[in-house]
Amino acid sequence: MKSSVKFDREASAQEAGRQAEFIEKDKVLVRALTEKLGRRPTACTVTFGCQMNAKDSEKIAGILRDVGYELTDSEEADFVIYNTCTVRDNADQRVFGRLGRISHFKKKNPDMKIALCGCMMQEAQNVEKIRTSYRYVDLVFGTHNLFRFPEYLCGVLEGDGRIFEIWDSTDRIVEALPSERKYTYKSGVNIMFGCDNFCTYCIVPYVRGRERSREPKEILREVEALAADGVTEVMLLGQNVNSYGKDLSEPCSFARLIEEVAKVPGIRRVRFMTPHPKDFSDELIRTIRDYPNIARHVHLPLQSGNSGTLKRMNRHYTKEQYIALAQKIRREIPDVSITADIIVGFPGETKLEAMDTVDVVRTLCLDNAYTFIYSKRQGTPAASMPDPVSEEEKKETFDLVLSAVQECARERSQALTGRVFEGLVEEVNEQDEHYVTARLSNNMLVHVPGDPSMIGKYYPVRLIECRGFYFFGEIVSGSEENSATDQ
C-alpha cells in the first residue's frame, strides 16, 4: 500500500526557520520567568514507550534547555511534559495515574505548566478526557506537530490559555531543532516516520501516520555531526525501517542507507529498529554480513507462529516464510542474535495455534523474545474480532510460550561462555557500584568489574558466568581496545 502523504521539503525548511524564531521569543519569556521566580525555572520530560518516543523527548528537552530551563528528573518542576505511548491500554492508565498525582504539585506551584504529547494524544477520546477531567493541563499536542513545540511553549508562557492542537497527518519532517541527548556516546537517529502496514492489532499507523522517509544526505549529515561530537554508536529508527526510501523521489533502499552510515568515520557500531519480516531483503542481510560495525543483532518481530493467526493479524508472511528468513540470516551472519516480539491470545487464537508459536521459538532457538498477552486497542480491526478464548486459557498458553523462550535464550547464551567479545560500557551497575554494564554487538549485557570512567568506551570482554539473559564477565585487558577476539 503506497503512502498517500506527499512530503513537502520546502515547507519543512520554512517551518524550521519559523520555529527558530519562536525559540528566540521563548528565551525572552523564560528570562522574565527567571526574574519573577528568583531562580532558573526547571523542566522535566517523562517518556513512555518506544525508542522513537525517547528520541522525540530528546528534542523536547533540547528545546527546553535551549530557551533557558534547567532540566531535572523531578516531576515537581515548573514545566512537566509527558510524552505518551498508546500501544497497550496499561500505558494509557499509567499516564492518567501520573496526571492525578501531579495535580498536587500544581496546587503548591501556581506557575507550574503541564503538557502532554505523543501517540496517546492522537486518540480523540483521550484528548477529550484530558480536556474535561484534567483542567489543570495547559498544553496537548500530538505526534504529527511535535516540531511546533517552540510555538506552543510560547503560547503557554504568554498565558494564552489552554492549548489543544492535534493534527491528523503532516506533509513535513522538521529535524533541525535543538536536542538534548541522554548519552554522550550513543544516539538514535530518525530515518523515517509512520507506518503503512496496518497490522490489525496495531494502533501505530493511526497515531503516527503514513510512511515518510528522510533524505539520505540529511541522515548522513546528522550521523557525521554526531560522530564529530563523540558519538560512536547510532541506532537508526523507524516503525518499519525495511520500507525506508520507497517514498523518496530518488528511491534508496535501507540496505544502501545503513551501508553509508556504517562508513562514517568514528561510528563503531550501527543498530536499527524495527524491521518487518516481509520486507527483510537479501541485500540487507549481505550488508550486515559485510560490515562488522553493523550490530550482530536482528530484532525480527514474529507476533505469532501460526499462519492463520498471522493472516488475521495482516502480517503478510507465513510461519514457514518466517523460519526460512531467520535461518537464512543465521547462515549468512556469524554469531547473529535474533530476537522477536510475540503476542499470545490474539482474538480467536486456540491453544493448538499458540503451540505453533512454541514450535517456531524452539525450531529457531530464538535468543530472546518480548512476549505479551494481546491487549485490545480501540480503533483497530482486531478490537471488533470475536474472541471466545478465556483469559485463563490465554494465561496458560502465555506461560507455555514464555517457558520456551526462556529455555532457548538460556541455551543460546550458555553456548557463548568463555568467549571474548567487544563490549560498549553503558552504565554503572544498578545493584553493585563496583561493576559496570557493557552491551555486546549481539545485544547481550555483561556485568564486569569497573568504574564510571569506563562509560562510553569499548573493551574486550570475556563471558564467564551465564545468568540466563545476561553474563558476568571480565575485561581482558586493563585499557580500552580497538578490537576483540570476536565481533
Whether residue 205 contacts residue 159, with contact meaning beta carbons closer than 8 Å, is answered with: no
* pLDDT above 60 (res 279): yes
pLDDT for position 208: 81
Exposed (0-12), middle (13-18) or buried (19+): which is 101, by Cβ within 10 Å? Answer: exposed
Query: What value does the mean pLDDT take over residues 213-236?
Result: 95
How far is it, in rounded angstroms, from Cα 216 to Cα 196?
20
Tell me the CATH class for 183-276. Answer: alpha beta
pLDDT for position 55: 87
pLDDT category, 198, cuts 50, 70, 90?
very high
How far is it, in rounded angstroms, from Cα 329 to Cα 265?
27
pLDDT for position 1: 37
Which CATH architecture group holds 420-475? Beta Barrel (2.40)
pLDDT category, 469, cuts 50, 70, 90?
confident
pLDDT for position 79: 97
Exposed (0-12), middle (13-18) or buried (19+): which is 368, by Cβ within 10 Å? Answer: buried
Tracing cell 519543512 back to the chain, one arrives at 12
**pLDDT digits over 89-132, tens only?**
677 788 898 898 899 999 999 899 999 999 889 888 899 999 99
Q: Among 176-190, 191-205, 333-347, which range has the highest average pLDDT?
A: 333-347
**Average confidence score pLDDT of the chain:** 91
How far is it, in rounded angstroms, from Cα 332 to Cα 287?
10
How far is it, in rounded angstroms, from Cα 96 to Cα 101?
9
Whether residue 57 contacts residue 146, with contact meaning beta carbons closer than 8 Å, is answered with: no
* pLDDT above 70 (res 478): no
What sections of 229-281 are H helices per DSSP? 254-262
Query: What value does the mean pLDDT take over residues 287-316?
Result: 97
* pLDDT above 50 (res 27): yes
How far is it, in rounded angstroms, from Cα 391 to Cα 448?
42
Bond into 274 cis (ω within 30) = yes
How far is it, in rounded angstroms, from Cα 419 to Cα 464?
8
pLDDT for position 481: 47
**pLDDT digits over 354-399, tens only?**
999 999 999 999 999 999 999 888 889 999 999 988 999 999 999 9
* pLDDT above 50 (res 3): no
Percent with pLDDT over 90 in the chain: 74
**412-433 exposure pattern, b = at least 16 Cβ within 10 A, e = fewer:** bbeebeeebbbbbbbebeeeee
pLDDT for position 167: 86
pLDDT category, 309, cuts 50, 70, 90?
very high
pLDDT for position 485: 47
How far is it, in rounded angstroms, from Cα 374 to Cα 345?
5
pLDDT for position 2: 40
pLDDT for position 221: 94
Length of the chain as a residue count: 487
183-276 has the same fold as 9-165? no
What sections of 68-148 are H helices per DSSP? 89-108, 124-133
Q: Phi and psi (nearest 5°) for 118?
A: 95, -170
Tell me the CATH class for 9-165. Answer: alpha beta
Domain ranges of the chain: 9-165, 183-276, 296-415, 420-475
Question: Residues near 223 by Cβ (< 8 Å), separated by ≥ 6?
Answer: 189, 234, 261, 264, 267
If one looks up domain 296-415 in CATH, what number appears?
Answer: 3.30.750.200
In sequence order, what E strands does 182-311 have?
Answer: 186-190, 192-193, 212-213, 233-237, 269-273, 297-299
8-state DSSP, 214: P
pLDDT for position 203: 87
